[in-house]
């Protein structure tokens, strides 16, 4: 596990370098849409934020601050550092992501297990059709459709975040984020459960007179969850990055909205800070998934 942790450092460094170069390669600058300033004033602003320095020097300065845990000030949010903005937006994004992941696991594992037990039936075909539809339709299409149907036409749920209180404002964003992951997890669970149910130890359990529920709960569910657990890393990454679109559509003041507005405003430090934060978080969560996989599958621990 220590080797995996050390191997994550070059990955994170590569993400930082690529993000830094891509942000600075974009046309325009963080102060280009301000009113026209005198040349000396504009030069002073550039010097104050070290934007007049050569790019390698800017990168060295940024990395020195990053090693101290300093993500720098935001260019567009006055009197706020990037760390403060991340600290205010991440709890909301975390709530959305955690609820979406919980819903995806609950519905995906349940529907995939039922489809495996009813293999070849109408219920199995319905579940797999839904899964294929969920995989095929992107989040930025699902979100407006759900708003139009459930919020505008039926008026069951609020269409936006602002001015709303209670759990109702979470429902549409969480469903939007969870739907693609429900589809993937249902397909993985079904395929894995079918394989496990055909194993010798399951036939032995049946020959000993155990009922179907006991076999599924005690013997089949744990090994069938190994592919799902392996998928947890990419699933969490997809949900976290999916909040960028969902938060913008529903007007949620999370990291996704900060990221979009930072990109539009050429707020270099804010965009870089969010990218680095997400990259470090996803790498860490993948390491946690690897550890959990080792607890479930003893063969991984032995290796």
> pLDDT tens, 166-221?
778 888 899 888 888 898 999 999 998 888 888 877 778 777 777 777 788 777 88
What pLDDT is recorded for position 117?
85
* Burial (0-12, 13-18, 19+ Cβ within 10 Å), 190: buried
In whole angstroms, give the CA distance from residue 188 to residue 182: 10
**Backbone angle region of 166, left / alpha / beta, with phi > 0 → left and psi within -120 to 50 → alpha:** left
The full set of domains in the chain, from first to last, is 90-264 (1.10.3720.10)
Max CA-CA distance within the chain? 87
Q: What are phi and psi of 81, to 5 degrees?
A: -90, 165
What pLDDT is recorded for position 74?
87
In whole angstroms, give the CA distance from residue 186 to residue 105: 9
Report residue 288's pLDDT band, with 50, 70 and 90 as the boundaries.
confident
What pLDDT is recorded for position 264?
81
In three-state secondary structure terms, 73 is strand
Q: What are phi and psi of 73, to 5 degrees?
A: -85, 155
Cα end-to-end span (Å), the chain? 11
Across the range 271-284, mean pLDDT stands at: 88
Q: Which of 64-68, 110-114, 125-129, 228-232 has the lowest mean pLDDT?
A: 228-232
Single out the residue of 209, 239, 234, 242 nearest to residue 286, CA to CA: 234
Query: pLDDT tens, 142-169?
Result: 888 888 888 888 888 887 776 666 778 8
* Between 258 and 210, the higher pLDDT residue: 258
- Range 152-163 burial, b when 16+ CB lie within 10 A, else e: eeeeebbbebee
In whole angstroms, give the CA distance from residue 72 to residue 222: 45
What pLDDT is recorded for position 102?
92
Given a cut of 80, whether residue 293 has pLDDT beyond it is no
Q: What mean pLDDT value characterizes the chain? A: 81
In three-state secondary structure terms, 274 is helix
Single out the residue of 11, 46, 6 nearest to residue 30, CA to CA: 46
In whole angstroms, give the CA distance from residue 144 to residue 136: 16
Separation in Å, CA 7 to CA 18, 108, 217, 281: 18, 32, 37, 15
What pLDDT is recorded for position 41?
61
Single out the residue of 154, 150, 205 nearest to residue 173, CA to CA: 150
- Asked if 255 contacts 243 with a C-beta cutoff of 8 angstroms, the reply is yes
Query: pLDDT tens, 20-73?
Result: 888 888 776 666 665 555 666 666 666 766 777 788 888 888 898 888 888 888
Report residue 294's pLDDT band, with 50, 70 and 90 as the boundaries.
low
What pLDDT is recorded for position 32?
63
Given a cut of 60, whether residue 90 has pLDDT beyond it is yes
In whole angstroms, give the CA distance from residue 203 to residue 80: 63
What pLDDT is recorded for position 222?
80
Report residue 107's pLDDT band, with 50, 70 and 90 as the boundaries.
very high
* Between 125 and 167, the higher pLDDT residue: 125
Across the range 253-279, mean pLDDT stands at: 86
What pLDDT is recorded for position 136?
81
- Asked if 50 contacts 58 with a C-beta cutoff of 8 angstroms, the reply is yes
Given a cut of 80, whether residue 260 has pLDDT beyond it is yes
């Amino acid at each position: 596990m220590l080797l995996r942790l050390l191997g994550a450092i070059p990955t994170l460094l590569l993400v930082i370098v690529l993000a830094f170069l891509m942000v600075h390669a974009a046309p325009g600058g963080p102060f280009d849409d301000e009113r026209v300033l005198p040349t000396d004033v504009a030069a002073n602003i550039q010097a104050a934020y070290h934007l007049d320095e050569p790019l390698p020097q800017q990168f060295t300065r940024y990395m020195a601050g990053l090693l101290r845990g300093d993500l720098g000030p935001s260019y567009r949010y006055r009197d706020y550092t990037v760390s403060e903005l991340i600290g205010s937006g991440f709890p909301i994004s975390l709530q959305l992501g955690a609820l979406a992941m919980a819903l995806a696991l609950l519905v995906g594992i349940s529907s995939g297990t039922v489809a495996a037990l009813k293999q070849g039936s109408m219920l199995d075909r319905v579940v797999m059709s839904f899964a294929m539809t969920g995989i095929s339709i992107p989040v930025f299409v699902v979100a407006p459709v759900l708003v139009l149907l459930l919020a505008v036409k039926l008026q069951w749920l609020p269409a936006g975040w602002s001015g709303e209180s209670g759990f109702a404002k979470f429902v549409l964003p969480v469903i939007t984020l969870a739907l693609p992951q429900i589809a993937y997890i249902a397909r993985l669970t079904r395929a894995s459960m079918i394989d496990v149910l055909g194993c010798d130890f399951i036939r032995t359990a049946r020959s000993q007179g155990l009922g179907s529920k006991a076999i599924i709960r005690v013997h089949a569910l744990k090994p069938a969850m190994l592919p799902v657990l392996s998928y947890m890393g990419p699933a969490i990454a997809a949900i976290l990055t999916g909040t960028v679109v969902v938060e913008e559509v529903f007007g949620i003041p999370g990291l996704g909205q900060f990221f979009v507005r930072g990109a539009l405003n050429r707020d270099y430090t804010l965009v870089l800070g969010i990218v680095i934060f997400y990259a470090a978080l996803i790498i860490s969560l993948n390491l946690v998934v690897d550890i959990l996989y080792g607890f479930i599958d003893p063969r991984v621990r032995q290796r």
